Amino acid sequence: MKIVRIEGDDAIVSAGGLKRKANMSLLKDARIGEYVLIHAGFAIERVKAKEAKATLRVIRDIDEIRR
C-alpha cells in the first residue's frame, strides 16, 4: 500500500481504491509516497515502487478475471 498521510505513529495508506490506517512504528523514517507491506494493521516492510506497482497490476488483473 502507498503511504498518503502520516499522523504520528500511524499513517493513511491506499491501494486499489481502499484507504486504511496502519501503524508505522516498526518502520522508522517512512515517508509519504513510499509503498509498504501491511500485516495485521502494521507496516512491516518497505516495497520498491516498481515491485509494488507490478504486484498491484497482478491483483487488478485477477480481480477482473473473477468478475
Which three cell numbers, joined as nine digits, stand for 46?
A: 518497505
pLDDT-derived band at 67, boundaries 50, 70, 90: confident
Quote the pLDDT of residue 11.
Answer: 97
What is the CB neighbour count within 10 angstroms for residue 34?
19
In which domain, by residue range, is 16 found?
2-66
3-state secondary structure of 27: coil
- The count of domains in the chain is 1
pLDDT tens track for 8-21 = 999 999 998 899 99
Which DSSP category does 62 fall into? Answer: H
The one-letter amino acid at 39: H
The C-alpha angle with vertex 59 and arms to 26 and 27, in degrees rounded to 5, equals 10
- Which tens digits make up the pLDDT trace of 7-61? 999 999 999 889 999 999 999 899 999 999 999 999 999 999 999 999 999 999 9
Q: What is the CATH number of the domain that holds 32?
A: 2.30.30.140
